A and B are shown apart, each in its own frame.
Chain A
Amino acid sequence: MSARTAPLWQFRQPSVLPGFGLALGVTLTWLVLIILIPLSGLAWRSSALGWATFLELATDQRTINALRISFGTALAAALVNVVFGVILAWVLVRYRFPGKRLVDAMVDLPFALPTAVAGIALTTLYAPNGWIGSLLSPLGIKIAFTPLGIVFALVFVGLPFVVRTVQPIMEEIDKEVEEAAATLGANRFQTIRRVLLPGLAPAVLTGFALAFARGVGEYGSVIFIAGNLPYVSEIAPLLIVIRLEEFNYPAATAIAAVMLMISFAMLLIINMIQAWSRRRYGYGA
């Protein structure tokens, strides 16, 4: 046997740097203890329910409504954030105006502000007697304590995901590409619509997915503003909490399992689109 023959299957490529075993050991131990065991506990508990029970719990009308509200409002909020997030990123990358630094820093507020604080603040603003709510209620517009209120909270929570995903890609746009479009006769609108925005699509899609995923699971900022009316404005995470408080563990487990499955399936699809985009266009986000 020659020592020079490369092994057929190699776990890792040779490196002179030390500490691989220790670092990977710590990582895996921590990952297994904190993430994998608890999550597999959930998987095990939901599979222990049996298919029939699981289906019955998952298709309970209140559960279905809650899931529908969670995913529906998260979708609406993510769409709003795509529009305004792209505009905000554009303004921050392209224009100069007083207070720009401040606005740029403020975009991260939803990352830094605890969700419960955001929740009570938004409720104060949009409740019928609140700062903005009192202006709207004479017009017959109700935001707080309706599904619309949930959307508002989720817009707040999801905004930085879109801006922070799109912004760096926008900064890297080659000015020559815009000039090329102009020399070919494209007006500014055509350049933006046909050249710039399609180039940003993978980043926008990623930002959308992140904002959507966050919105689906969001709890703290929503429960204050939602009104939490069963079947109408009760989100799925809240229903899990309610079932837990009733010590109805099977129901809580089933709702959680459904939520996780849908979320993971979505992330998987997004990842596949990204990989496809990278293969085809040579870029993703």
Chain B
Amino acid sequence: MEVRVQNIRKEFGRFPALNDVSLDIRSGELIALLGPSGSGKTTLLRLIAGLESPTEGTVFFGDEDASRKTVQQRNIGFVFQHYALFRHMTVLDNVSFGLTIRPADRRPSNAEIRRRAGELLDLVQLSGLEKRYPAQLSGGQRQRVALARAMAVEPNVLLLDEPFGALDAQVRKELRRWLREIHDRTGHTTVFVTHDQDEALELADRVVVMSKGKIEQIGTPDEIYDTPNSPFVFGFIGQSNMLPVRIENGQLLMGDQPVGVSAPGEADGAAHLYFRPHDIELLDGEGSISGTVVVTRRVAGTRHVELDIGATGTKVEIELPPEKFTSDRARIAFRPTRWKLFRT
């Protein structure tokens, strides 16, 4: 089901947690809400769920205004960071819970509930553990039970709050891939919150980058990485360098040196130049950024080189294929090939 969030504002006391946030989630989409802590991503998720109510604004499920419905009526699936499993119930009872509590006229038969729960446990690869209690499971297994439990009610939308946050790195990676598989198989509209950009970029169809209660950018992982539309997104996603520059006649200057980048049509004035360490080419001599090598590190298939450029002491980091860098080079000149200007 598609979910639309319209002009949502949320204040806790007088602290604004979300400010005029709008978001369209397409049916069947896997969307990540990405941002640092305090960016409002969890609040947005809880507003969609109905665990919080907005100070202003509306949430639509399909064409229906969901803002007037309680969390119970919205029929959503919510997965909590710390699992929130019912510890006195077996795995099977946990998964069946949402169905068994339905009023008699909407409740499937016991056999049907059992069959459906069994199917879901199959899907999350936990068959055989039906009789176990949460305390007897590993963290990864618990989170899979939590997901199965949320899916059992055939939710309009599946909401996951930092679903892998409490797990160790190895299990995280496994579950990430596995969640994508499950999503592709079941096709639930899914929104998950994360502060881990790798997780968001690897898993989501679209990523919503949030900061300070606002949406900074919405886009596919490629769009977010390749064309960040704000200094925040540029800085938050991946590695980046920032240089203060001046524009004169469509040419970018640092101090009095041209940096080898032209921006035809840009008005004159000060700006910040952003580029990623690997989006550069090496040059010889003038018309470029040049600096002395401070330190270099070999990271997997690339060499990271830290350069000291100019008297300001500004440092930039670039990445080179190892064969392009020889240890006797004390000075390097380069030019960004992909970059973005933000006016100051």
Indicate whether A and B interact. yes
Interface residues in chain A, defined as those with a beta carbon under 8 Å from any beta carbon in chain B: 174, 176-177, 179-187, 190, 194-195, 198-199, 201, 280-283
Least CB distance, B305 to chain A, in whole angstroms: 46
25 contacts between A and B (CB under 8 A): A176-B81, A176-B82, A179-B51, A180-B78, A180-B80, A180-B86, A181-B97, A183-B72, A183-B77, A184-B101, A184-B150, A185-B75, A185-B98, A185-B102, A185-B153, A186-B72, A187-B72, A190-B101, A198-B86, A198-B88, A201-B88, A280-B135, A282-B87, A282-B134, A282-B135
Please provide the chain B residues from 170 to 212 with a CB less than 8 Å away from any CB of chain A in the complex.
none
Which single member of A179, A187, A194 contacts B80 (CB below 8 Å)?
A179
Among A187, A199, A282, the residue within 8 A (CB) of B86 is A199
CB <8 Å contact, A281 and B84 = no
CB distance from A280 to the nearest CB of B (A): 6
Residue of B with least CB distance to A176: B84
- Please name all residues of chain B whose beta carbon is closer than 8 Å to the beta carbon of A184 when the two chains form the complex: 77, 97-98, 101, 149-150, 152-153
* CB proximity of A186 to chain B, nearest CB, Å: 5
B interface size (C-beta, 8 A): 31
Q: Which residues of A contact B86 (CB under 8 A)?
A: 177, 180-181, 195, 198-199
Is B60 an interface position by the 8 A CB rule?
no
Q: Is the interface of A mostly helix, strand, loop or mixed?
A: helix
Chain A residues, CB < 8 A from B49: 183
Interface residues in B46-104 (C-beta closer than 8 Å to A): 49, 51, 70-72, 75-78, 80-82, 84-89, 97-98, 101-102
Secondary structure at the B interface, as helix, strand, loop or mixed, is loop
Q: With A180-B78, A195-B86 as given contacts, are A282 and B133 in contact (CB-CB < 8 Å)?
A: yes
Kindly state the separation between the CA atoms of A169 and B134 in the bound complex, as whole angstroms.
18
B residues near A186, Cβ cutoff 8 Å? 72, 97-98, 101
Once the chains bind, are B80 and A176 in contact (CB under 8 Å)? yes
Bound Cα distance from A183 to B97, whole angstroms = 11
When distances are taken between beta carbons in the complex, the residues of chain A under 8 Å from B87 are 199, 281-283
> CA separation between A210 and B136, bound complex, in Å?
29
**Which residues of chain A are within 8 angstroms of B152 by Cβ–Cβ distance?**
184
Q: Which residue of chain B is the closest to A180 with respect to CB atoms?
A: B84
Measured between alpha carbons, how far is A118 from B196 in the docked complex, in Å? 61
- The interface residues of chain A lying within 8 Å CB-to-CB of B88 are 198-199, 201, 281
**CA–CA, A179 and B51, complex, Å:** 7
Q: How far is the CB of A7 from chain B (nearest CB, A)?
A: 34
Shortest CB-to-CB span from B128 to chain A, Å, is 18
Min distance, Cβ B320 to any Cβ of chain A, angstroms: 47
Closest to B152 in A: A184
Query: Is A177 touching B84 in the complex (CB atoms < 8 A)?
Result: yes
The interface residues of chain A lying within 8 Å CB-to-CB of B136 are 282
Instruction: List, in ascending order, chain B residues with CB within 8 A of A176's CB.
Output: 80-82, 84
Bound complex: CA of A182 vs CA of B72, how far in Å? 5
